[in-house]
Amino acid sequence: MMVYPLFNGLSAMKSISIKFKEPRQKGYQVLIQAGQISRIQASLKHLHPGASAFVISSPRVYGLWGKALKGFPKHLVPDGEQHKNFAEFHKALKALAAFGRGADRKPLVVALGGGVIGDLAGFVAASYKRGVPFVQVPTTLLSMVDSSVGGKLGIDFDTPQGRIKNLVGAFYQPSAVLIDPAVLKTLPQRELAAGLAEVVKTAVLFDRPLFGRLEASVPALLKGDARLLEPVIAACVAHKAKTVMKDEFDLRGARALLNLGHTFGHAVEAASKFKLLHGEAVAFGLCCAVDLSARLGLADPELMRVEDLLLRLGLPTSLKALPMKAVMAALSQDKKFEKGMRFVVPKRLGLSVLLPLPPKHKALVEAIFKARFR
Ligand code: NAD
Ligand code: GLY
């Protein structure tokens, strides 16, 4: 990680590079600096001289932070996971095509928003003219620490069995990720806590000292203190960057580790009809993953600290009972289920493994859910 000195009165800029072995695949930088949104137009010009920027955002985020991108054409997607769908993808693509018509250059898509906007706008950029450049400007904690980095994009999709999360999408890397932790000051508390669930996930997976720092700073974390969050975001991005560089296309098992808590989490997220936020579902899923590890006799007792920390962060570690049939249906529809069930199982803080479970363990998984339903 590079740290550049104070610039223009803003905090020092941290830069994390993502590079790929494949020579045709361009790397990019994740730039983290409080206040940088105020000079985003200059950053875009510097990154893509002469490109015509097209902003994709949501009404709420654009209303709060869009003035930094004033003058650029925009398309707004309604807020919420329920809009990360094909109809909104189609509308955004049509708006981009109308803008791009006659333009002699490829437009530059700027995704300003949380993970929903980043996933959808990135997929639009990946699809239009078989790929135009795009820059991620994440505005939620969750999108800063996870979704904006690594080029996993997509939308939820309706099937005869119901809506499946992220069923349609692409791997397509952004040309830069610009993270301004100062924008978190307008993020609602519930969304901030949901983002902290992905932070806890990262610490459990890779970073025992970070886990300790989180335990020691719960009140400040919950206040969204940007000075505290900046190094936390940088640490999470650095872990994600390392993982993505090892396994860009999720083929080698390294990237699959990032799904810690997600297999359980996606199932309750879908069964709750997306009333649970993604991060909340992940918090619940992290507890289930620890339970699975304990029931398999793999868990170090220190993993008890995971549930304690999540509770102190105000995240759900148990849920009002959801219909078991819907939960198990959502679980087995999960696209990650091939040849039985594959779970990420934590063994201790900083060490998790990917474990294929034979179908006979389905009853065990069901019991884990039930034990956490009130
Ligand atoms: P989100 O995008 O729905 O944003 C949450 C809410 O916060 C929205 O209502 C939004 O308008 C509002 N908001 C955003 N920034 C704000 C700000 N600065 N101030 C005030 N309000 C603000 O939710 P999310 O948690 O960012 O993202 C969840 C999505 O990310 C899910 O669809 C999930 O599947 C996806 N995801 C993708 C990856 C990936 O690798 N691509 C990883 C994790 C999660
Ligand atoms: N959030 C999971 C991944 O990027 O692979």
Confidence check: pLDDT of 110 > 80: yes
Q: Burial level of 154, CB count in 10 A (0-12/13-18/19+)?
A: buried
Could you give the percent of the chain with pLDDT greater than 90? 85
Looking at residues 155-181, what average pLDDT do you find? 93
Chain-centroid distance, C-alpha 23 = 27
Rounded mean pLDDT of the chain?
Answer: 93
- Helix (H/G/I), strand (E/B), else coil: 20: coil
Confidence check: pLDDT of 359 > 90: no
Looking at residues 1-30, what average pLDDT do you find? 80
Confidence check: pLDDT of 201 > 70: yes
Looking at residues 103-132, what average pLDDT do you find? 93
- Among all chains, which residue has been given the structure tokens 């803080």? 349
Mutate which of 40, 137, 229, 278 for ligand 1? The one with the most ligand atoms within 8 Å of its CB, which is: 278
Which amino acid is present at 268? Answer: V
User: Higher pLDDT residue, 361 or 18?
Assistant: 18
Residue with CA at minimum distance from ligand 2 atom 2? 258
User: Which of 59, 63, 43, 60 is CA-nearest to residue 51?
Assistant: 43
Q: What is the pLDDT of residues 44-103, one digit of tens each?
A: 999 999 999 999 999 999 999 999 999 999 999 999 999 999 999 999 999 999 997 766
- Report the atom number in ligand 1 closest to the C-alpha of 150: 40
pTM of the predicted protein model: 0.95
Confidence check: pLDDT of 194 > 70: yes
Please tell me the distance from the alpha carbon of residue 110 to that of residue 131, in angstroms, as a whole number.
13
- Report the atom number in ligand 2 closest to the C-alpha of 150: 4
User: Which of 155, 196, 169 is CA-nearest to residue 250?
Assistant: 169
Q: Which helix (H) or strand (E) holds 328?
A: helix 324-333
Looking at residues 29-33, what average pLDDT do you find? 97
Angle between helices 278-295 and 189-206 (to 10 degrees): 30
Please tell me if the CB atom of residue 258 comes closer than 6 angstroms to any atom of ligand 2: yes
Residue with CA at minimum distance from ligand 1 atom 17? 187
Confidence check: pLDDT of 337 > 50: no
Q: Which tokens sit at 104?
A: 């002699």
Give residue 117 CA to ligand 1 midpoint distance, Å. 7
- Report the atom number in ligand 1 closest to the C-alpha of 80: 3
Mutate which of 250, 266, 282 for ligand 2? The one with the most ligand atoms within 8 Å of its CB, which is: 250
Chain-centroid distance, C-alpha 240 = 10
- Helix (H/G/I), strand (E/B), else coil: 353: strand
* Count of CB atoms situated within 10 Å of the CB of 15: 14
Please tell me if the CB atom of residue 79 comes closer than 6 angstroms to any atom of ligand 1: yes
Q: What is the pLDDT of residue 5?
A: 53
Q: What is the pLDDT of residue 4?
A: 61
Confidence check: pLDDT of 336 > 60: no
Q: What is the pLDDT of residues 223-274, one digit of tens each?
A: 998 889 999 999 999 999 999 999 999 999 999 999 999 999 999 999 999 9
Q: What is the pLDDT of residue 9?
A: 55
Residue with CA at minimum distance from ligand 1 atom 20? 187
Looking at residues 158-174, what average pLDDT do you find? 91
Please enumerate in sequence order all residues whose Cβ is within 8 A of that of 130, keeping only pairs 6 or more positions apart, or say none. Answer: none
